[in-house]
Structure 1
Amino acid sequence: MKKIIYIVLLVFVFFSAKAAKVDTIQVFSASMKKNIKTCVIVPDSYKKSKIKFPVVYLLHGYSGNYATWVKSFKEVGQQVDKYDFIVIGVDGNYSSWYFNSPIDPTSKYETYIIDELVPFIDKKYKTIASREGRAISGLSMGGQGALFLSFKHQEVFGAAGSMSGGVDFRPFPEKWDIKKRLGTITEFPENWDKNTVVNMLGLLENSNLKLIIDCGVDDFFIDVNRELHTRMLALKINHDYIERPGKHNIEYWENSLKFQMLFFYNYFNDTVKTN
């Protein structure tokens, strides 16, 4: 019995010796006049290292929050340690869609992320404070949000991804509180047109933004992702596009995140070598 206990203890110590650290912090948004919770995951090497780290911002889906990535994704800490970058779990207030609402002045999540959150993280943590050291991705609503923000702010993000993204939400006018952020599609069609990613590809002309987009073949967003992919091909916009078996669920996203993290790791490696 003593021998068995001793072996178990050794195994426990081995896995505990290297573990990403998770912080929950409050970031004040001057634009929305409130504190917003944010999840920060740093690799085990962070505390003792004198180098600066690249950062991946992750955006949750509808009804999620900043803690989605540590509560629902059991391997995210291992991936942070493996690739040695910082991950930021952004809070998008369950249904913000990550843009500045043209009808609700209290919902300014584009301003918050770009002008408030990113500078705060760069000030508080040892980050590579340039587009070469930043990537952004998300799932569902967060996939739309990550592409939206990266397309509009290529000076901030050098790489971006989307997992099962709602990259054209116009076919779903009654879903996910979108009309609370944009008004109804019948009354304010221009709001819907200019804030949906599929209509923003003109921003990628002569762009060097690195992109990875994926969606499950049984996902209700598969058609809009295929349309985005088709338009990008026609415009000769460089991107990785993947379809895999899967639905709009955590099982698909856990697998998808592994591919996206590897994509960002490779991007950071390339930019570090060339800058």
Structure 2
Amino acid sequence: MRRIIVLCIATLLLTFPGTDLVAQNTQKKTPPLFKWVNLPRMMPTGVQHGVFQSPSMKQEVGYCIYLPPSYEMDIDRRYPAVYYLHGGRPGSEAKSIGLANYIHRYMTESKSPDMIYVFVNGGPVSHYNLADRENAMGEDVFVNELIPFIDKTYRTIANRKGRGLEGFSQGGRGTTRIMFKHPDLFCSAAPGGSGYATEKRISEENGRESENLVFAAGDNTWDLARKYAESKEPPLRIMLHVGTEGFNYENNLEYMKFLESLKIPFERIIVEGAPHSAQKIYDKRGLELVNFHAENFRRSGAMASE
């Protein structure tokens, strides 16, 4: 019987010479190589790629920026800016720029007012600080270096009244953490598809996400929300968004209940049938997200009614 089984397997391997049964079961994907500067293969209309010199790392860091249709013509005008935090690990400023196709269409069709969108490189572990790894302080590079550079280089409204924050998946986690840590920097925040179950585990295990990945204690979406809830100042306008077919759907509902228990106000967009995809959510409800920021900028006084 054993000889028959061996002969059958040998026959299969001869019939399909490219088949490696062991390799198929054990081969692991090699993580992509991280770089602080990544040139996009294709650039959506209105998007530019740029770099700045990081003061902390003494090296260039890339970013992509969408400038609205009126930017080059209306040279005395200043614009509010939304910073977009991509999903996935490691970071790349080119990851989410496809969303600019939607944003550009909304603005050229006058469905939303003109705004700047900045697409951020999140660092080796996207949008987190890892002090024990060289050049891995992704959050600090964004908050302390990229934002001041953008305000100095482009005609932004350089205060919280004219700044928004948005992200999806890993970027949703980053958006939630950073909005609660730095409510003095943003008046509008829209985290989407965030992995709040992982963030809860980090909270419960004193910063540990895995054996090889440990963050600073308290640096998670659950503990930071509790801290923000103590004062709720300055007030944030928050829009959580998620698709019903996304794998983070249920834990987003749990996090919404958690925010309600803390009496932190927020709005929500739940997209029926949408998977874990920022693009699919923008297909159906992207205009609402863009105009959520625009309305918050109007309320803050950074944008006049158009």
> Could you say which TM-score interval applies, normalised by the shorter chain?
0.7 to 0.9
Between 1:118-127 and 1:223-232, the stretch displaced more is 223-232
In 2, Cα distance between the equivalents of 1:206 and 1:162? 18
Question: 1:151 — aligned with what?
Answer: 180
Asked if 2 retains the 8 angstrom alpha-carbon contact of 1:216 and 1:244, the reply is yes
* Structure ID, larger Rg: 2
Write the deviation string for residues 24-44 of structure 1: whole angstroms up to 9, x where unpaired. Answer: 100222223321111111111
In 2, Cα distance between the equivalents of 1:260 and 1:274? 16
In 2, Cα distance between the equivalents of 1:36 and 1:88? 13
Asked if 2 retains the 8 angstrom alpha-carbon contact of 1:162 and 1:213, the reply is yes
1:242 Cα deviation from its structure 2 partner: 2.7
Question: 1:252 — aligned with what?
Answer: 281
Write the deviation string for residues 103-125 of structure 1: whole angstroms up to 9, x where unpaired. Answer: 32421111111110000000011
Asked if 1:78 corresponds to 2:105, the answer is: yes
Asked if 2 retains the 8 angstrom alpha-carbon contact of 1:168 and 1:197, the reply is no
1:274 Cα deviation from its structure 2 partner: 9.6
Gaps of 5+ in 2: 1-43
Asked if 1:272 corresponds to 2:272, the answer is: no
Q: TM-score, normalised by structure 2?
A: 0.72
- 1:180-191 equivalent positions in 2, closer than 5 A: 185=210, 191=215
Number of aligned residue pairs: 247
Question: 1:54 — aligned with what?
Answer: 80
State the identity as a percent: 24
1:126 Cα deviation from its structure 2 partner: 0.6
Distance verdict in 2 for CA 1:188–1:127, change over 3 Å: closer
- 1:19-38 equivalent positions in 2, closer than 5 A: 21-38=46-63
1:70 Cα deviation from its structure 2 partner: 2.9
Letter paired with 2:88 = Y
In 1, Cα distance between the equivalents of 2:95 and 2:196? 20
Distance verdict in 2 for CA 1:96–1:188, change over 3 Å: closer
Gaps of 5+ in 1: 1-18, 174-181
In 2, Cα distance between the equivalents of 1:233 and 1:140? 21
Question: 2:223 — aligned with what?
Answer: 199
Asked if 2 retains the 8 angstrom alpha-carbon contact of 1:69 and 1:89, the reply is yes
Between 1:157-166 and 1:31-40, the stretch displaced more is 31-40
Asked if 1 retains the 8 angstrom alpha-carbon contact of 2:188 and 2:296, the reply is yes
Between 1:158-167 and 1:248-257, the stretch displaced more is 248-257
Asked if 2 retains the 8 angstrom alpha-carbon contact of 1:65 and 1:92, the reply is yes
Between 1:209-218 and 1:246-255, the stretch displaced more is 246-255
Asked if 1 retains the 8 angstrom alpha-carbon contact of 2:64 and 2:94, the reply is yes
In 1, Cα distance between the equivalents of 2:54 and 2:247? 34
Distance verdict in 2 for CA 1:254–1:195, change over 3 Å: farther
Corresponding residue to 1:45 among 70, 85, 100: 70
1:80 Cα deviation from its structure 2 partner: 4.6
